[in-house]
Structure 1
Amino acid sequence: MQPFTTQFTLSREYLAECFDQSLPYGKGAQPNYLFPVLLFAAGAGLLLFTGQPKVAGYLLIALAILELLHIRFRRAWWLTRQMWGKGAGAEVQLTIDEEGIQTQNAYAQTALLWSDIERVIETDLGLILVAKSGGRQYLSKSLFTTDLVNEIIAKGNGRA
């Protein structure tokens, strides 16, 4: 594999693409509505069927509403947290070579060796590198040529 180096900015658009493309393949792809429903039911049960002070029931209902808001606005909240981070807006240098994939900016440096990659998931707009440790890293296809994308997929899935 020929060494390849490029730079990109961790902009809001790049991070939004990262979230949108990674979500269907993540652990929380389908929202879990059971938890807020159980919280609401427990809170309503405390309010209706006990003679205890009403604070615990109202608290559980408030937590259920908060959890529903978390589910509804998870993309916006994730993007906001990323934009508040030090790395937001920073230039990232990406290097791909025989060793693996390295990213470096002013605040962080990561290296993902080919031997540490369990598989590569191809999405419409990018690649999700799944490490054996369970971590995931998203890379946009717009950074690469078609040949390099195919080479990364082959090498990451152990076919090269």
Structure 2
Amino acid sequence: MQPFNTQFTLSRDFLAECFDQSLPYGKNVKPNYLFPILLLSSGAGLLLFIEQPKIAGCTLIALGVLELIHIRFRRAWWLARQMLGKSAGSEVKLTIDKDGIQTQNPYTITALLWTDIERIIETDLGLILVAKSGGQQYLSKSLLPAELIDEIVTKIKGKH
């Protein structure tokens, strides 16, 4: 495999693409409503059945509402957290070579070796590389030439 180098900016649009393309294949495809329901019902129970000050019940209800807001706006919530991180807006150097895939920005260096990749998921706009550890790394197809995309897919699927 010929070494390939490119640079891109960790922009809001890129992060939105990462979220949108990765969500259907992530661990939390369906939101978990059980936790906020438990918080709300526990808070309501404390308010109704305890004679003590109502602070604990109100706190549990507030946490339940906050969790429901988190579920409803999880894309915006995730994007806001990413944009508040120090890596947001920085230039990322992407290197793909015979050893694996390396990304480097002013704050972190991440390497994913070919031997550490368990499987690959091809989406409309990118590739999701699933590591043996369970982590996922997203590569946008807009950053890569078509021949390299085919080579990556063949390399990973050929291992199995």
Q: Does the TM-score normalized on the shorter chain lie above 0.5?
A: yes
* CA offset digits 1:20-47 (Å, max 9, x no partner): 1111111111111111111111111222
- Which 10-residue stretch deviates more, 147-156 or 115-124? 147-156
In 2, the alpha carbon distance for the partners of 1:93 and 1:36 equals: 40
Q: CA deviation at 1:134?
A: 1.5
Q: Give runs of ≥4 in structure 1 deviating > 4 Å.
A: none
1:79 aligns with 2:79: yes
Match of 1:149 in 2: 149
Post-superposition CA distance 1:126-153 (Å, at most 9, x none): 1111111121111101111222112111
What is residue 122 of structure 1 aligned with on the other side? 122
Query: What 5-or-longer segments of structure 2 have no aligned partner?
Result: none
For residues 68-108 of structure 1, the C-alpha deviation after alignment (integer angstroms, 9 at most, x for no partner) is 11111211121111112221111111111111111112211
Counterpart residue number, 1:61: 61
Between the two proteins, the alignment pairs up a number of residues equal to 160
Aligned-residue CA RMSD (Å): 1.5
What residue in structure 2 maps to residue 27 of structure 1? 27
- Are the aligned partners of 1:47 and 1:57 in contact in 2 as well (CA < 8 Å)? yes
Q: Quick one: distance in 1 between partners of 2:158 and 2:117?
A: 9
Q: Contact 1:100/1:112 (CA < 8 Å) preserved in 2?
A: yes
SS at match of 2:2: coil
Q: What are structure 1's unaligned runs of at least 5 residues?
A: none
Task: Please give the alpha-carbon distance, in whole angstroms, between the structure 2 residues aligned to 1:86 and 1:59.
Answer: 31
1:156 offset after TM fit, Å?
A: 2.2
CA distance in 2, matches of 1:14, 1:35: 31
Query: In 2, Cα distance between the equivalents of 1:86 and 1:41?
Result: 38
